[in-house]
Amino acid sequence: MGRDETFIQKERRLKEYEMISNRNKTKDATQLGYRDMNTRFLNAEKHDLQERKGVEIQKVVEAHEQKKKQIESAWHANTTALVKDLKKRAPKKSSEKSAAYYAGYSLKELETFLKNSDRGGNSDEFNNVATDLELYNRVMDSTDAREGMGLLTQLKESCSKYLETRKSPVTSKGKIRRAIISQLSQKVNAELEKQKNDYITAQKNTLEAMREKADAQNVDEAMKAHFNLVYQSLSGNIELTPEEMAKLDQETEEVFTLLKKQEVDKNQSKSLCSKFFNAIGWSGNDPRIVDSHDFHGKEMENSPHKKLCYHSIDPLPIMDPKTGEVIGYEKDAIPQAKQLAGFSKEGKRIYYGIGRFGKGVYTAAKEDAPGTTDQRAKSHSWSYGERKGAVMFTMLVNEHARITTEAEMLHHTRELEEKYPRITQYIQRNEKGRFRDFTTILAAFLGYNTITGEGVRGEVEYLSTSDRKALTMLDTIEVRTEDGDEYYTNEVSLTELKEEEEKEKKAEGK
């Protein structure tokens, strides 16, 4: 699902969309049909299975076919009453066999018409349209608007393929199906053209505004608009000529040079990473905070990663103002915990910490190797919070995570360097550190907010997340009560800390 993605990447993204779909699914809605009915996914899966040994491909195919029949049957049963109501709004002088008949219906309503069309078994081309449309309608209420263009582009391709192969249907049902998909194609093409013009216009207008007045707001708006257009270009949703890409590359570098001068919150690192994610809005997104029941229940079930992730914070050092030497440590890391959880009155945006593969919120999780445990990952994370007063978060990545790997990013970086060399080189030059600190910015341009990589070989993996929206936090955090001993901790509720913070704000306001 996306530009030249491997099956593993397609599967990972589909799992993320399925999690969003499960949250948005109404009581009588069917499961998302894409996995079992869309040939874009099925062909990639089959090719992947052919590369493996000992896999009975025919059994996999048969299982998909059985699911397909069940879903098609449920589609028809669940939409019959809805279609009767929708037809009450239809133009009286128009025929169901004409595209004009469906002009007044939304994309969600056209999905209902398609699902109600029953011919005793649907063609691949028809189900590609239906499942692409279902996927778009089901996830767009809860995902980043930028992703919608890619999903619409897939839907456009499926509509075109169906219309090309069904030019002169003979039966009434065939004519009705073609009419629905013709109208759908018109609406999708119009929406894609509108979005393309919006992205290009926003990039042009914000650049002009920034050049006239390079204040913080104009620079941030320009960065966001240029980021969006580069993302759509890299995703293949907006085609730019080599000359247009070179111009966008140069102009985005111009924005970056002014972004580097931007201020950050006083409790953020003064890095290009902080300034970039502040500009595009990711640093201010809130995490999801839930109690133990929901965390270990539906949140774990809906996580595309399904591993407990641990993050610890040591109390900040106290510096001698004259010598700059460390003379002690703060009593605890609760202020930093409030900031990470998104409700510190000192500033709620993320502190982007350094790490092996880009700045972000680093967590430790158990490796996939046999015998690895959550406790080993937790103990490893505690090694970064050894002092009395250190705090420990337990998290999951949720359905908003867009996951890539450290190894994949090495390949993706080469792709970026080929298409947008000035942007890539500027970021690499200006986000330097002991490691590849620039990686999370480059990942963002490709649509990823979470990177996984090796932590301790065979035991612990690391994750670096640049957008807290991708994180679900357990409400209970632990606070170390003794230096160096992870077994002596107190439990503190993030919800209670937030309530206390809000009371203090109100009191200060008076």
pLDDT digit string (tens) for 78-90?
999 999 999 999 9
**Domain interval for residue 124:** 7-195
For the stretch 278-325, pLDDT in tens is 999 999 999 999 999 999 999 999 898 999 999 999 999 999 888 889
Where residue 5 falls among pLDDT bands split at 50, 70, 90?
confident
Rounded Cα distance, 348 and 341, in Å: 8
303 shares a domain with 412: yes
| Closest to 419 measured CA to CA, from 252, 279, 261 | 252
Query: Residue 421 — very low, low, confident or very high, per pLDDT cuts 50/70/90?
Result: very high
Residue 1 belongs to a domain: no
Asked if residue 464 is part of any domain, the answer here is yes
Report the C-alpha gap between 16 and 5 in whole angstroms: 15
| Residues shown for the chain | 510
Measured between alpha carbons, how far is 67 from 61 in angstroms, rounded to an integer?
10
The structural domain count of the chain equals 3
Q: What percent of the chain shows pLDDT beyond 70? A: 98
Query: Which pLDDT value is given to residue 188?
Result: 98
Q: What is the mean pLDDT of residues 476-501?
A: 91
Domain co-membership, 99 together with 163: yes
- Please indicate, yes or no, if residue 23 is contained in any of the structural domains: yes
Report DSSP letters for 184-198, one per residue. Answer: HHHHHHHHHHHHHHH
Residues 154 and 216 in one domain: no
Annotate 460-504 with DSSP letters as a single string.
EEEEEES-GGGEEEESEEEEE-STT-TT-EEEEEHHHHHHHHHHH
Q: How many CB atoms lie within 10 A of CB 321?
A: 7
In a domain, 53, yes or no: yes
Residue 317 vs residues 133, 274, 329, 387, 390: alpha-carbon distances, Å: 54, 21, 4, 11, 12
Of the pLDDT bands very low, low, confident and very high (cuts 50, 70, 90), residue 434 is confident
Residues 263 and 327 in one domain: no
CB-based contacts of 309: which residues, under 8 Å, 6+ apart? 363, 364, 365, 377, 394, 395, 396, 397, 463
* Domain endpoint, select from 234, 249, 279: 279
Q: Mark whether 232 and 299 lie in a shared domain.
A: no
Please say whether the beta carbons of 264 and 275 come within 8 A.
yes
Please, what is the angle between helix 406-419 and helix 216-234, to 10°? 100
User: In this structure, are residues 464 and 357 in contact, taking their beta carbons and an 8 Å threshold?
Assistant: yes
Residue 142 confidence class, pLDDT cut points 50, 70, 90: confident
Residues 188 and 237 grouped into a single domain: no
Amino acid (1-letter code) at residue 130: A
Return the DSSP state at 360: B
Contact 318, 332 (CB under 8 A): no
Q: Is pLDDT at 36 greater than 60 in this prediction?
A: yes
Q: How far apart are alpha carbons 57 and 63 in whole angstroms?
A: 10
Nearest to 311 by CA among 253, 369, 355: 355
**Global pTM value:** 0.91
Same domain flag for 219 and 285: no
Residues 6 or more apart whose Cβ sits within 8 Å of residue 141: 24
Q: pLDDT grade, residue 3 (50/70/90)?
A: low
Whether 398 contacts 19, CB under 8 Å: yes
- Cα within 13 Å of Cα(483), Cβ side: 2
The confidence score (pLDDT) of residue 72 equals 94
Looking at residue 399, its amino acid is E
Q: Are the C-beta atoms of residues 18 and 35 closer than 8 Å to each other?
A: yes
**Number of Cβ atoms within 10 Å of the Cβ of 10:** 17
Same structural domain, 369 and 351: yes
Average pLDDT in the 210-233 region? 98
Q: Look at residue 164 and tell me if it is in a domain.
A: yes
For residues 467 and 346, membership in a common domain is answered with yes
> Quick one: 449 exposed, middle or buried, by C-beta within 10 A (0-12, 13-18, 19+)?
buried
Question: 355 near 273, Cβ under 8 Å?
Answer: no
Q: Are residues 227 and 289 in the same domain?
A: no
Which pLDDT belongs to residue 22?
80
Helix (H, G, I), strand (E, B) or coil at 321: coil
Looking at 172, 195, 218, the residue that finishes a domain is: 195
Average pLDDT over residues 485-491: 85
Is 300 inside any structural domain? yes
pLDDT at 252 over 80: yes
**Residue 346: inside a domain:** yes
Whether residue 208 has pLDDT greater than 90: yes
Asked if 43 and 95 sit in the same domain, the reply is yes
Residues 6+ apart with CB under 8 A from 345: 501, 504, 505
Residue 221, token pair as written in the block: 């708006």
Do 116 and 83 touch, CB atoms closer than 8 A? yes
Q: What is the pLDDT of residue 191?
A: 96
* Consecutive H or E run containing 224: helix 216-234
Residue 2 belongs to a domain = no
Q: Is 191 exposed, middle or buried (0-12, 13-18, 19+ CB in 10 A)?
A: middle
Percent of the chain with pLDDT over 90: 77
Task: Say yes or no: 320 and 425 in one domain.
Answer: yes
Q: Give the ranges where 342-389 is alpha helix by DSSP (H).
A: 374-382
Q: What is the pLDDT of residue 373?
A: 94
Using the 3D structure, point to which of 279, 294, 315 is the last residue of a domain.
Answer: 279
